[in-house]
Structures are given as C-alpha cells and as structure tokens.
Structure 1
Amino acid sequence: MSSKIPSVTRSKPLKRPTQARARFTVQAIFDTYVRIWQRDGWAGLTTRAVALEAGVAVGTLYDYFPSKEALHSAYVRHCIERLIQAVDVQVVEPTDLNWQQRIHLLIQLLSGMQREELSWFHPDMMELEPLIAEQKYQLRAYAELLAMWRRVMDACTDLPQQPDEHLIEALHLAVWGGRRYAMQLRLDEQRMRLWAAEMEALCLARLD
C-alpha cells in the first residue's frame, strides 16, 4: 500500500461503485472478505489476500479500499444498506399485508431471524467498531434506519393510530440496540428467537 495515503484516509473507503461491473467487482470483494475473515480471523486477513482470492487486481481493490479497516467500514455500510433494502422490498412495498404482518416481518429481519439474503452480521463487528466508528457515520446509519421504520409505519395504513416520532424511535432503539447487545454477548440461536418473539409482542402491544 502506498505510504502517501494519510492514515485518516486509509480507514475509509475511497469511492463507491456506480457501474454494474464495478458493483459486481465490489460484491466479489465483500464475499471474499467475509470468507477469509471467517476462515482466518481478522489478524490473518489482508487486503492483498482478499484481492488475490477474489480474482481482482490488487490495484483495483486499493482504488476502493486502501486498507482492511476501510474494507470493513464499507462492508458494514453494505450490510446496513442490504438490510434496509430487504425491509423496503418485503415489508413496505407489498400491498396485501396487514399491519401485524408487516411488524412480524420487520422484527424478523431486524433481529436476524430471517437472514438468507442478508449480509453477514457477526459479533466480531462489535469488536472492530473502534477502528471505523466515527460518530457522523453512526448518526447517518441511525437516521437511515429510523427513516426505514417511518416508511414501515406509513405502509401500515390499517393501524388503529399512527405512532408519533418518539414512539418510533423508542421501538427502533429497543430492537436494534437489543440485537447489537445480544450479538456482543453472543447469545445462542434459541435465546435470540425467544428475544425476537418478545420484541415483536412488545411492538404489537404498543402499536395496538
């Protein structure tokens, strides 16, 4: 890697892919990143190894990600974007769901109980947050997730009463904050499912 890149820059992605081919390349990089991370751990992961295993030129990877910290930052962003996209497609856009069904699907997605098509959220992400967690990026993700909740509520046209912004934020904090803490504690699958069911019941009761 070039020593001319300032350290503050090397922890951030340099650009986002816009062309279809570039998006395909970056997706291949993300897939390989997760595979190596799962196999070799964070300490054994290098950007060069990701590029070689993904079949991408090292220089091409560095065009986007000047360090593995920058790659991780972009991957976390990718996970959040995929989650929001899944909620929009499965919860917001369908026209044949009642509000209880929308809330059920929302909690399933946010709690990680429905994850076949979502990206790889993992407890190790919590440990790596100090490397990438600038407050402005945390706040941006928070605002985008909160806006997603608002779109879900707007789609629930059969709700007895639309919740105000304070209630929406409280539910978001309860579900998303709970998932993050549960990931940090590495709760097993059964306990996560029980927690998700209780979160759904809480949301349904508060919104009814």
Structure 2
Amino acid sequence: MNRPTHTASARTKPLKRPRQARARFTVQAIYDAYVRIWQREGWDQLTTRKVALETGVAVGTFYEYFPSKEALHSGYVRHCIEQMLQQIMERIIAPEQLTWQQRVRGLIRHLAGLESDRTWFSPDMMHLEPLVADLRHQQRAYDELLGIWHQMLSACHDLTPKPSAEAVEALHLATWGGRRYALQVSLDQMRLESWAEEMERLCILAMAPDRQR
C-alpha cells in the first residue's frame, strides 16, 4: 500500500452526523459494508460506489454523509472511539458493585481492543492518519481517552488516595501507545492478551495505595 502524503482537507471529513434512528442505522450499515470490503479487497480497491452498492443505499445518500472514502474512514475511526467510550461507561464506570481493581482491568481490556464490540482495525489504517486527521482531531481523541481514565477513577470509591494526574497520564500513554504499536506490528491475539494482562498488573501496582505514599 502506498502511504498517503496529503494533509487533511474538507473532503476527508464526514459532512454530517446521523441524529435520527433511521440515519444511525444507515450509517452503521455503511460502516459494516466498509469493513467487509476493506477485509475482502483492501484499501486500494475500496471505492465509495462499492460501499454504497454493498450497503444498498443510493450513492447520493452516501455522499450526504461521506464525500470520499477518506471521509468514510475518518468517520469510522471516530465512530469506533465513541463506541468504545460508551461501552466503558456502561460496563466499567456505571456498575456500582465493581472493585477498583476490576474497573482497572476492564478499562485496560477495552482500551486494548479485547472487549469492544463491532470494531475492527487494520495496520494500514495507521498510514492513513496524516490524510484524515489533523492535530486538532488527534488532540480531541487524546483528551477524551485520557478523560475516561479520570471518570473511571472517580467511580473507584474504594480507592484512596487516588493516583496523581501525572501518574494517570503516564498509564494512559503506556496503554494507548502500546495498543497503537501492537496494531502497527500486527501483534497476534495471544501476545496481545499477554500484553494486556501485564498492563493490568502494572496499572494496579502503580495505583495501589501503599505504592502511592
């Protein structure tokens, strides 16, 4: 695959976000078709027309949301991050009965991509970042992902004292950076599971009250 050399432009951004249930269903179907075609044919052979035909929507309807396949990719990545954050809120932060260690383990597994539903990533997607995302978008994603750590810790009523903001950011960088690098080198499932288990252990050790004094 040839690595893109362009910078993000208006044509690489989704045009609008689906608000109504029917629109959300349509966009989800577009994302599902996008993933199937990418897995089957690769990025270079993927076209907006192919995605529209496989989804069963009119090309005009497709372009109401995505003016290009780069915009579709940008929207898909944003969608995956939002889905993951929502699942963390529902499964890790909202339940009252979880211990702080269980919350940490669950957070790491979601961030490692081992628990999130309906998401798929290819190592080639890393090469597309300069084309579909500028620094402002990357900063927003970084802030949201770091924020979910603080929301998780706020739910840990059995953990006192809480780790410092600097320690939390260090753990976030280690976890999310590790996940991105694992994707880049196509780490197999067994090694990814082992890495996630070690990250869980390290994070719990770093957050343990007796280690913070």
| Structure 1 residue 95, shift from structure 2 partner | 0.5
RMSD: 1.1
> 1:170 matched to which residue of 2?
170
Shift in CA distance, 172/118, structure 1 to aligned 2, threshold 3 Å: farther
> 1:22 matched to which residue of 2?
23
Letter in 2 for 1:145: L
SS at match of 2:45: coil
> 1:105 matched to which residue of 2?
106
Letter in 1 for 2:16: K
Letter in 1 for 2:54: E
| Structure 1 residue 128, shift from structure 2 partner | 1.5
Alignment of 1:1-208 (within 5 A): 8-115=9-116, 117-208=117-208
Is this contact kept in 2: 1:83–1:118, CA < 8 A?
no
Distance 1:123 1:199 in 2: 21
Give CA-to-partner distance per residue, 1:3-40, whole Å, 9 cap, x none. xxxx9211111111111111111000000000001001
More relative contact order, 1 or 2 (CA 8 Å, 6+ apart): 2
| Structure 1 residue 118, shift from structure 2 partner | 3.9
Superposition TM-score, scaled by structure 1 size: 0.94
Count of aligned pairs:
201
Distance 1:11 1:143 in 2: 22
- Uncovered stretches (5+) of structure 1, i.e. residues with no partner: 1-6
Distance 1:100 1:92 in 2: 12
Give CA-to-partner distance per residue, 1:106-135, whole Å, 9 cap, x none. 1111112223x2411332211221211200
Letter in 2 for 1:174: A
Distance 2:46 2:35 in 1: 10
SS at match of 2:9: helix
| Structure 1 residue 167, shift from structure 2 partner | 1.2
Letter in 1 for 2:10: T
Is this contact kept in 1: 2:9–2:132, CA < 8 A?
no
State percent identity of aligned pairs.
59
Moved over 4 A (4+): none
| Structure 1 residue 76, shift from structure 2 partner | 0.3
> 1:4 matched to which residue of 2?
none
Give CA-to-partner distance per residue, 1:76-106, whole Å, 9 cap, x none. 0001001101110110000110001111111
Distance 1:153 1:121 in 2: 28
Is this contact kept in 2: 1:30–1:75, CA < 8 A?
yes
Distance 1:72 1:87 in 2: 23
Distance 1:167 1:64 in 2: 40
